[in-house]
Amino acid sequence: MSLEPRAGQTPSILKKSTWIDFGIRLTAVILALVFTSLILVIAKAQPLEAYKSILQGAFGTTIKFTSVIASWVPLVIATSGLLFTFTAGLWNIGMEGQIVMGAVFTVGAFRIFDETGLDPSLVIFLAFLAGAAGGIFWALLPGLMKIYGGVNEIFGGLGLNFVAKTAAIWLIFGPWKRPGVASGSGTEWIDIPFRLPYIPGTNLSLTILIIAIIVAVFTAIMLKGTHFGLRLKAIGKNDKAAYILGIPTTRYFLLAFGLCGLFAGIAGAILVTSKQYSLIPDAGFGYGFLGLLVAMLVNYHPIWSAVIAFFFAALSIGNTELQYMGLNSYFAGVLQGFLVLFVVLVDGVRKRLVTKL
Amino acid sequence: MSRKSAWILISILMIMVLTLTACKPAGTVEEPVAEEPVAEEPAVEETEVQEVTEAPVTEAEPLTVGLLLVGPANDAGWSQAHFDSMAYVQEKLPGTELLYLENVYTGSTAHTQTPAELAADMAAKGAKVVIFNSDDQKDNAIKFAQENPDVYVIHASGDSAWKEGKNYVDLPNLKNIMGRMEYGKMIAGCAAALTTQTGKIGFLGPLINDETRRFAASSYLGAKYCWTEYLGKDPADLEFKVTWIGFWFNIPGVTLDPTQVSDDFFNTGYDVIISSIDTTEALTEAKKFAADGKQVWAVPYDYEGACEGANDVCLGVEYFNWGPSYVAALKSIQDGTWESSFELVGPDWADINNPDTSMIGFNKGGALSADNAAKIDQFISELGGGLNLWTGPINLQDGSTYLADGEVATDLQVWYLPQLLEGMEGQSE
Amino acid sequence: MKISFQHINKWFGKVHANNDINFTIPSGTIQGILGENGAGKSTLMKVLTGFYQADSGEIFLDDKAVTISSPEDAVMMGIGMLHQDPLDFPPMKVIDNFLLGTRGGLFPNRKQVEKDITRLSQEFDFQINPDSFVETLTVGERQQLEILRLLWLGVKVLILDEPTTGISANQKEKLFATLLKLASQGLTVIFVSHKLEEVEQLCSRVAVFRQGQLVGEVMPPYDTDQFVYMMFGKSVEVADKSTFRSEVPYIKLENISLEDYRLRLRDINLEINCGEVIGLAGMEGSGQRLFLRMLTGLMRPVGGSILYGGHNFTGRTYPVFQKAGVAYLPAARLEEGLIPGMTLTEHFILSEEHHELFVNQKSAIDLTEDRIREFYIKGTPASQIEQLSGGNQQRALLALLRNKLRLILMEHPTRGLDIESAIWIWSKMKERCKDCTSIVFTSSDLDEIIQYSDRILVFFGGLVSKPIDADTTTVDELGQLIGGKGW
């Protein structure tokens, strides 16, 4: 439950209990709902109406429901990537930038291949490969900086996030701008054949759903069932001891970053091919940051992360509905903020209590 | 945490869904918008002249209109002009239901969905027509129109439905509506030129595209005309600088900060700013500088009430009056005469501030001197009388000829102005 | 301060760690608490210092019933504890470590504190510079520092949990002198240990624990056999001395020079034979650790060469050494050896080489259960490593060693273990020597070094002695060398 990925300091007497853990999280969720309701009351809105409207907004129509799934896809992929780095004890704050780089490389690939007359599905595949490469490239940088330059990955990641966004903006306003246009609206859309088609009547591409499920299952299996996952966990909890036990920690650090970058790149490619169709300044849509949040909230547990990611996706889609009620749609942000706050808080309180037991 | 507890959480969420939705029968989404007090509409004065256009539409089924606003509904600019026009629509077409969303733009943190997806949901909620109010939503408007042939789409400011235009897409359910804001911008430019003490006019531009180049150039043409014709000054002494922020409004981290850009203008001797972005930072900053004793002015944009709050530094505002055009478009849907079209609507020269007839208007601001106000009136009547500033000789910024001597620009030439004009400072693309 | 325990009970799950403990410690005494690992000594002390709350029972301080709900509480009441693993804040200066413990005061008085440290240091003949960094201190020095800090905070009761592990003989002597002095000044000292001779030497009374119960209280004169019997419920025999040293040299060190920021070792030449055990003696921080780490590849020599079985390993990294059959058991168990937060089973999976993708849980648990039986680890395959007692962690560490090894490097292999376990562990290790495995180990226990080594190297101030034959040397001779005499 510790929020630090390095759980070495966890007091030995903490007994892992599923039910306590679950109760803790439920308490946090309830507290967050109560406090958000309070804010709503202060804002002279009906909390129940608001929650109802969020639920309607998320699940009321097929369009909305499939939008939730479409939004869950990049989030769960980003979270999956982050589970690898978190397990290895790494704070990959640079996730957002890695998704942006994935999008940049994807769009770059389309710019190269769109006139070649290649089969569109081949071009899409190449664009995904490029996106993956971009994500991996951008993720390995903080890894290398950490290992060979002694730069904490948090600072490296923060810096690289900024660089990635700046690079995207530079491309949008510079070399990749639409002819005669210089606008934050983004680059020219990719041609229709390159867009992943939606399941008719929905907002969801089947391809990305399949990718997300593969990624989530892969992550759960890798982390929970393989030697690789166990070694990563060992490194995350005590890299010195792991090294002495014979785990090549440097290689595993880079592997964790690489895998995280791979998923970031795929998420970026998905956002380009199934949602935005172009490079925009916020090409990561904040999924990297939201992924960090989800991974933290679930204490780096793969199966839970899929569930919580779904919850957050539903929240962010349902949120729009509040505007129809005349409520500010930054409401979801308030709820998210309270959630994080209370999970951290309740966790801290629990630790205190446990030490006293 | 185990799989078991994951399922428990899911079940609890499901129970929450069920209990909460059970509170009221589903599907009765009330329309809070209709209950909202109609925003102050000082310009609405019923005139008898309009009787003719009010054809009986009593048997027509009321429409649900979806409106995607690029900015907030109260931005005192572009989006508010659209939003307020809906009150006009509801007055003229009683029963019209409005679904609207604010802050629908690329990378907006308010929505996880793209404009096309939001529009699809509006359609699912019963919207028969969706208005995309921004250039930023152009691709999405087209995509939505392609995917939803049964829903009518109005894209304000676009050119996709212009057969003669460069970006024509054949979509029977798509219509473009835009005002001939060239005239409004000329008036704004004129007011600026008449007022400036330093001879330096700043143009606070949004992003760069056909539209914004066109409006920046129009402002310059208006300024230059009044500078030379009314004040008798040398055009070489008029400085006109354009700074683009990169989007229709401020997005921190992406665009330049319009507040900062305005400050820079005022600090470097530009004493009048013509704003062409969706929001009113230039006016706010002018007020701040004026409070510090500086002689500065601003011309806001888009919304008829934009001067409000800073009237003493406001030279006036050139604004859009979308209501009549939207009423006409909706009526055409109701009576089955809808056609995909590109509508470029000009001012009603008889009275450019007539809310029922004029798409483009100009409200004089408190900072416009009486003398200059008279000159503005004169300028407007000259324009109404046939004065066309888009007449050669006009050179482009790079010195190449745009219009030969005596040549009058066509709508296409004006719309697709390739560069800023000679004499203007600033990026052309 | 007089301390009285009445009917203290403490459970950890199914383990009854303290079973109805009743006894009284008079003021101004040095009270020994004796028992093997897991007997409940540390638990009782943690109850006394507020780390744990007793499930039932009461504590009286000077006949007043008290509730001690946290370590801070305990310090407020005048009870301070020196832990087995000193709980200081390594990346800080000594003085900051002191300032952290002060109560109140946004702007602490550095000057005054600095003076206090120096004064206390002098009083007890410690050499601690307030401006040195804690991480540069040896275990012994950290211990001295912690004693100073507690005294400075004004404690009346000083609890020491296995204080002699990890410190040199010299530092031990100094510690004992300090404790006697403190007791004479009226402080109550509680000395927790499993080492008979220390308890006998130091304590004015002894309480013996076994399996959570207080078996009895003993006053001097002491009878060692009685203690052993009380601790184990039976008498224990000392292992015989056997050697498996062959004449086949396996490792060759030629003119090795080692350096770190405060120490420099020059021109070490040594051949280690198959099956040989080499003990490294010396004061803590005299270079034994550098030497050991050099043999693992974790420390790169600045000069000379290392030959393993004829291959030049100079400049190779730890994984290469490891592949060649070198294993390293660091002293800081929970920092370098084991992974807190992971179970015994997970440790055993990690320690073995695996080339398949998926973990075979079944076989891993089987392996773990085997090792648990073989090494008498008190725990289950699902026990988190940090939940085991110190001694069991050490057993686990040994159990993690792979089967085929050429060289085992150990730091304080039996630290914190009772005699019985120590004997048993060495018999395990010696068995490996039969298969030509060599062992190099450090220990602060000279008896252990003489008992189990074939040859001994003594480290002193950057010097390394010629190998000394363990059969012909004595504790006295080694002690002289360690103290810098006879070089």
Concatenating the DSSP letter of every residue in A200-216 gives: TTSS--HHHHHHHHHHH
Measured N-to-C along each axis, helices A95-113 and A287-297 cross at an angle, to the nearest 10 degrees, of: 140
The answer to whether residues B173 and B197 belong to one domain is no
Q: What is the mean pLDDT of residues C281-295?
A: 87
Of C203, C148, C211, the residue nearest C180 (C-alpha): C203
Task: For chain A, positions 194-253, list CB contacts with chain C under 8 A.
Answer: 225-228, 230-231, 233-234, 237-238, 240-248
Contact A234 C334 (CB under 8 A): no
Q: pLDDT digits over C353-372, tens only? A: 888 889 888 999 999 999 99
> What pLDDT does residue A11 have?
36
Q: SS3 for C80?
A: strand
Quote the CA–CA distance of C198 and C176 in Å, as a whole number: 9
Residue B193 lies in a domain: yes
> Measured on CA atoms in the order A219, A224, A228, A232, is the torsion positive or negative?
positive
Answer whether C409's CB lies under 8 Å from C292's CB. Answer: yes
- pLDDT at residue C86 greater than cutoff 70: no
What stretches in chain B show pLDDT beneath 70?
Answer: 1-59
Complex prediction ipTM: 0.84
Quote the CA–CA distance of A75 and A314 in Å, as a whole number: 11
Q: How far is A24 from chain B (nearest CA, A)?
A: 11
At A4, the pLDDT band (50, 70, 90 cuts) reads very low
Q: How many domains does chain B have?
A: 2
> What pLDDT does residue A330 have?
67
The answer to whether residues B332 and B375 belong to one domain is no
> What pLDDT does residue A339 have?
80
> What pLDDT does residue A145 have?
94
The answer to whether residues B100 and B120 belong to one domain is yes
Residue B385 lies in a domain: yes
Answer whether B156's CB lies under 8 Å from B131's CB. Answer: yes
- pLDDT at residue A307 greater than cutoff 70: yes
Residue B76 lies in a domain: yes
Residues β-bridged to residue C160: C82, C191
Of C68, C49, C5, the residue nearest C150 (C-alpha): C49
Q: How far is A300 from chain C (nearest CA, A)?
A: 14
Q: SS3 for C150?
A: helix
The enclosing domain of B124 has a CATH number of 3.40.50.2300
pLDDT mean across residues, chain C: 85
DSSP E strands, B180-328: 200-205, 239-244, 272-275, 297-299, 301-302, 316-320
Contact A184 B23 (CB under 8 A): no
> What pLDDT does residue A17 have?
58
Q: How far is B354 from chain A (nearest CA, A)?
A: 30
Contact B121 A59 (CB under 8 A): no
Answer whether A61's CB lies under 8 Å from B124's CB. Answer: yes
Q: How far is A294 from chain C (nearest CA, A)?
A: 22
Which of A225-234, A301-310, C83-92, C394-403 shows the highest mean pLDDT? A225-234
Contact B23 A48 (CB under 8 A): yes
Length of chain C: 487
Interface test with A, best of C342, C365, C367, C409 (most A CBs within 10 A): C342
> What pLDDT does residue A97 have?
96
Per CB-CB distance under 8 Å, the chain B contacts of A73 are none
Q: Is the model more confident about B141 or about A293?
A: B141
Residue B23 lies in a domain: no
Q: What is the mean pLDDT of residues C35-59?
A: 86
Q: Cβ atoms within 10 A of the Cβ of A199, count?
A: 14
Q: What is the mean pLDDT of residues C14-40?
A: 86
At C91, the pLDDT band (50, 70, 90 cuts) reads low
Which of B21-25, C11-15, C299-303 shows the highest mean pLDDT? C299-303
Contact A238 C335 (CB under 8 A): yes
Got the DSSP string for C307-356? EETTEE-TT--HHHHHHTTEEEE-S-IIIIIS-TTSBHHHHHHHHS---S
The answer to whether residues B315 and B342 belong to one domain is no
Q: What is the mean pLDDT of residues C303-322?
A: 90
Say what percent of chain A tops pLDDT 90.
57
At A326, the pLDDT band (50, 70, 90 cuts) reads confident
The answer to whether residues B352 and B402 belong to one domain is no
Residue B104 lies in a domain: yes
Q: Cβ atoms within 10 A of the Cβ of B43, count?
A: 19
Quote the CA–CA distance of A70 and A206 in Å, as a whole number: 9
Residue B285 lies in a domain: yes
Q: What is the mean pLDDT of residues C330-357?
A: 88
Answer whether C231's CB lies under 8 Å from C197's CB. Answer: no
- Chain C neighbours (≥3 Cβ pairs under 8 A) are A
The answer to whether residues B123 and B143 belong to one domain is yes
The answer to whether residues B214 and B352 belong to one domain is no
Delimiting residues of CATH 3.40.50.300 domain(s) in chain C:
3-232, 237-325+403-487
Residue B239 lies in a domain: yes
The answer to whether residues B146 and B157 belong to one domain is yes
Contact A183 B210 (CB under 8 A): no
Of A118, B85, B128, A230, the residue nearest C348 (C-alpha): A230
Q: Cβ atoms within 10 A of the Cβ of B280, count?
A: 28
Q: What is the mean pLDDT of residues C82-100?
A: 67
Of B213, B180, B419, the residue nearest B320 (C-alpha): B180
Residue the block writes with tokens 């210089």: A182
> What pLDDT does residue C356 have?
87
CATH, range C3-232: 3.40.50.300
The answer to whether residues B272 and B204 belong to one domain is yes
Compare CB distances from A10 to C13, C69, C341 and report the shortest one's residue. Answer: C341
- pLDDT at residue C88 greater than cutoff 80: no
**Residue C192 one-letter amino acid:** V
Which of A288-297, B180-189, C98-107, C209-218 shows the highest mean pLDDT? B180-189
Using CB atoms within 10 Å of the CB of residue C266, give its burial: 0 to 12 exposed, 13 to 18 middle, 19+ buried: middle
- Read off φ and ψ for residue C134, nearest 5 degrees: -60, -35
- pLDDT at residue C109 greater than cutoff 90: no
The answer to whether residues B79 and B164 belong to one domain is yes
Residue B16 lies in a domain: no
**Residue ranges making up the domain that contains B173:** 52-179+322-358
Quote the CA–CA distance of C171 and C169 in Å, as a whole number: 5
Q: pLDDT digits over C456-487, tens only? A: 999 987 889 999 998 888 877 887 788 777 77
Q: Is the model more confident about A331 or about B52?
A: A331
- Pick from B342, B358, B374: which residue ends a domain? B358
> What pLDDT does residue B36 have?
39
Measured N-to-C along each axis, helices A302-318 and A206-225 cross at an angle, to the nearest 10 degrees, of: 150
Got the DSSP string for A73-128? HHHHHHHHHHHHHHHTT---TTHHHHHHHHHHHHHHHHHHHTTTT--HHHHHHHHH
Q: Domain C237-325+403-487 sits in which CATH superfamily? A: P-loop containing nucleotide triphosphate hydrolases (3.40.50.300)
- pLDDT at residue C51 greater than cutoff 80: yes
DSSP B365: P
> What pLDDT does residue B50 have?
40
The answer to whether residues B369 and B350 belong to one domain is no
DSSP A198: P
The answer to whether residues B163 and B68 belong to one domain is yes
> Is residue C403 less than 8 Å (CB to CB) from chain A?
no
Q: SS3 for B152?
A: strand
Give the tokens for residue A114.
Answer: 């769109």
- Does chain B touch chain C (at least 3 C-beta pairs within 8 Å)? no
> What pLDDT does residue B416 have?
95
Q: pLDDT digits over A50-84, tens only? A: 888 888 889 988 888 999 999 999 999 999 999 99
- pLDDT at residue C84 greater than cutoff 70: no
